């Protein structure tokens, strides 16, 4: 069997986990590992379109499942506890976003490194990446638990998150419980990505679905049946994450013929591996951090400009709440597509199969764009119904929210390119570029535009208020970040051509 790399033929089938065109050490592996190898080496030989579909479906579904935890908590708390329950879920949202950022820092970074090392044929180093990722998850979880146990820290978290006197105690209870259970989220979500790189995307999806279903069932039991309220919802969330975590660990500890194995000898932290994990995972982490910054700035601006508008500050906050939930939902499948092709990009880049790297990238762009166009059409066709689903029925506020939703998602059909492009550099061991592109939209473009647009746009159009102008900041930031990504990818495509021709050497 041979792998194609442009005009170059790279032999495989050597009883190894992956092709090793760079001539690197194979970690002392012997023959007889064909079952393990086939799961991984097919990423360098099977047809790209089929692989993308195989990896994308469970990845996209998994992203939607991960996004369901907050929704599940809000539904049950709203039904059982009322406004205090919903307020508690809202106050907990920032800390849960921080937890997701930390999980992505070690999980996405470790997975990207493992995919590269598998592509090089260095299975021991891929195992070390897995082991170090689990160890880092444990260390971060211990730090989080120790910090939250300190009263000044949790009081500060509650204050920054917007807790009031009415919901302070319930938010304190909820955040304390999910903080001590962070270890389950960190491994259950972060290490889950390694299952895809091990060539089992459907198994990765199952581990997430089982956790979400457990969370839902236990929320019903604890909150609706036993009446445990906020405490019960937090315990149900942690329990669901624990179930998912157990499934992930079971796969790497006990499943037969897996190409990566969680072993104690690879769990000792190695400085070079840790640095690489953090470098490759920082982009994903900063995206979540950027979301927190944007929400803080936007909420304060909405309070100010909303108070100057007939819909009022509360109406403005309600409107942006709906718009952000819808926007977050429609973007999740695009992120899922980017995550799905990450192991394919990393493996083929590590194996020097640069023609397949290019084909995988453009396949991911086409897939993400197709999904985005469909979702964009659905949102625009059914915008009034979508807004009504969230309980906004008053005429003026409903019309404003429909208008804001349409404006904020103008660039959605093109956003998939930016997301896939940013993730491409993470997958191919170019963290600095990935970090920069990840920050362009939210920090470098959107935050400044949120301050500038309300001052400038009303001067250019008499029909727009300062509050209206806030919503135009998002599509403009999208346009600028997409343009920036186009420039980066144009340069990268030329670099791939040189790598394929052997004019330069790949470094990662």
Q: Within this chain, do residues 264 and 290 fall inside the same structural domain, yes or no?
A: no
In a domain, 95, yes or no: yes
Same domain, 255 and 327: no
- Beta-ladder partners of 5: 8
**Domain shared by 131 and 229, yes or no:** yes
Percent of the chain as helix, strand, coil, to the nearest 5: 80, 0, 20
Look at residues 145, 162, 183 and name the one whose alpha carbon lies nearest to residue 86: 162
Residue 468 token pair: 């209206």
Residues 403 and 479 in one domain: yes
Looking at the domain assignment, is residue 4 inside a domain?
no
Judgement on whether residues 311 and 380 belong to the same structural domain of the protein: yes
Q: Which residues fall within 8 angstroms of residue 122, CB to CB, at 6 or more apart?
A: 20, 24, 25, 26, 27
Q: Are residues 151 and 230 in the same domain?
A: yes
DSSP run (H or E) holding 260: none
**393 within a domain of the structure (yes/no):** yes
Of 244, 269, 294, which residue sits at a domain end? 269
CA distance 232 to 234: 5
346 and 300 share a domain?
yes
pLDDT, residue 11, reads 34
- Tokens for 312, please give them: 């009022």
- The contacts of residue 173 (CB under 8 Å, 6+ apart) are 230, 231, 234
Query: How confident is the model at residue 69, as a pLDDT?
Result: 63
Residue 27: its pLDDT value, please? 40
Q: Are residues 344 and 404 in the same domain?
A: yes
Q: 234 and 173 in contact (C-beta within 8 Å)?
A: yes
Q: What is the DSSP letter of 408?
A: H
Which helix (H) or strand (E) segment holds residue 274: the answer is helix 271-307
Beta bridge mates, 8: 5
Q: List all residues 6 or more positions away from 488 whose beta carbon is below 8 Å from its beta carbon.
A: 421, 425, 433, 437
The radius of gyration of the chain's CA atoms, rounded to the nearest angstrom, is 23
Q: In terms of domains, do 97 and 170 share one?
A: yes
Distance CA 295, CA 229 (A): 27
Is the same domain home to 208 and 317? no
Query: What pTM does this model have?
Result: 0.68
Residues 260 and 321 in one domain: no
Residue 80 has what pLDDT? 65
> Cβ of 256: how many Cβ atoms within 10 Å?
6
Supply the pLDDT for residue 274.
92
Q: How many domains does the chain have?
A: 2
pLDDT of the residue at 149: 85
Q: Which residues touch 226 (CB under 8 Å, ≥6 apart)?
A: 232
418 found inside a domain: yes
Residues of the chain with pLDDT under 70: 1-40, 66-91, 160-164, 166-167, 296, 299, 303, 312-319, 321, 389-395, 503-508
433 lies in some domain: yes
Q: Which of 236, 269, 302 is the last residue of a domain?
A: 269
Residue 485 is predicted with a pLDDT of 94
Any domain includes 24: no
Sequence-ordered alpha helix ranges (H) in 352-465 = 354-381, 383-389, 395-408, 412-427, 431-439, 447-460
- Look at residue 245 and tell me if it is in a domain: yes
Domain that holds residue 113: 54-269
pLDDT at residue 243, rounded to an integer: 93
Distances (CA, A) of 498 to 350, 352, 354, 355, 422: 16, 12, 10, 11, 21
Is residue 18 a part of any domain in this protein? no
Q: In terms of domains, do 244 and 327 share one?
A: no
- The per-residue pLDDT for 193 is 81
Among 269, 299, 325, the domain-final residue is: 269
Q: Specify the pLDDT at position 23.
A: 39
């Amino acid at each position: 069997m041979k792998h194609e790399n442009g005009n170059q033929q790279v032999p495989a089938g050597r009883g190894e986990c992956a092709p090793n065109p760079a001539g690197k050490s194979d970690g002392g592996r012997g023959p007889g590992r064909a079952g393990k190898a086939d799961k991984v080496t097919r990423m360098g030989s099977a047809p790209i379109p089929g692989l993308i579909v195989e990896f994308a479906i469970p990845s996209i579904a998994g992203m939607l499942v991960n996004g369901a935890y907050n929704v599940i908590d809000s539904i049950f708390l709203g039904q059982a506890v009322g406004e205090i329950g919903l307020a508690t879920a809202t106050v907990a949202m920032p800390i849960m976003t921080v937890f997701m950022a930390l999980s992505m820092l070690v999980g996405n970074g470790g997975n990207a490194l493992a995919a590269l090392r598998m592509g090089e044929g260095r299975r021991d180093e891929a195992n070390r990446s897995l082991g170090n990722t689990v160890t880092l998850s444990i260390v971060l979880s211990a730090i989080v638990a120790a910090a939250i146990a300190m009263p000044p820290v949790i009081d500060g978290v509650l204050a920054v998150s917007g807790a009031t006197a009415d919901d302070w105690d319930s938010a304190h209870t909820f955040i304390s419980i999910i903080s001590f259970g962070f270890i389950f989220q960190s491994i259950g979500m972060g290490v889950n990505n390694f299952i895809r790189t091990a060539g089992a995307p459907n198994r990765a999806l199952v581990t997430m679905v089982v956790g979400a279903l457990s969370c839902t069932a236990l929320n019903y039991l604890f909150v609706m049946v036993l009446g445990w309220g906020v405490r019960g919802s937090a315990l149900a969330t942690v329990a669901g994450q624990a179930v998912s975590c157990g499934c992930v660990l079971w796969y790497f500890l006990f499943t037969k013929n897996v190409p990566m194995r969680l072993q104690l000898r690879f769990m000792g932290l190695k400085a070079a591996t840790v640095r690489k994990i953090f470098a490759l995972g920082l982009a994903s982490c900063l995206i979540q951090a950027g979301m927190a910054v944007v929400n803080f700035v936007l909420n304060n601006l909405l309070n100010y400009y909303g108070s100057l508008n007939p819909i009022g500050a509360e109406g403005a906050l309600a409107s942006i709440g709906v718009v952000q939930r819808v926007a977050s939902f429609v973007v999740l499948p695009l992120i899922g597509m980017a995550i799905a092709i990450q192991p394919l990009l990393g493996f083929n880049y590590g194996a020097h199969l640069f023609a397949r790297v290019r084909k995988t990238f453009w396949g991911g762009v086409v897939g993400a764009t197709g999904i985005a166009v469909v979702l964009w059409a659905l949102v625009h066709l059914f915008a009034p119904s979508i807004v009504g689903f969230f309980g906004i029925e008053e005429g003026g506020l409903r019309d404003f929210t429909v208008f804001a939703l349409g404006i904020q998602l103008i660039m959605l059909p093109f956003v998939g390119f930016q997301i896939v492009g940013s993730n491409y550099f993470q997958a191919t061991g170019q963290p600095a570029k990935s970090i920069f592109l990840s920050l362009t939209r939210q920090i470098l473009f959107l935050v400044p535009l949120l301050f500038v647009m309300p001052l400038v746009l009303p001067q250019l159009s008499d029909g727009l208020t300062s509050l209206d102008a806030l919503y135009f900041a998002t599509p403009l930031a999208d346009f600028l970040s997409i343009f920036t990504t186009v420039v980066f990818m144009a340069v990268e495509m030329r670099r791939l051509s040189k790598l394929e021709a052997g004019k330069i050497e790949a470094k990662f």
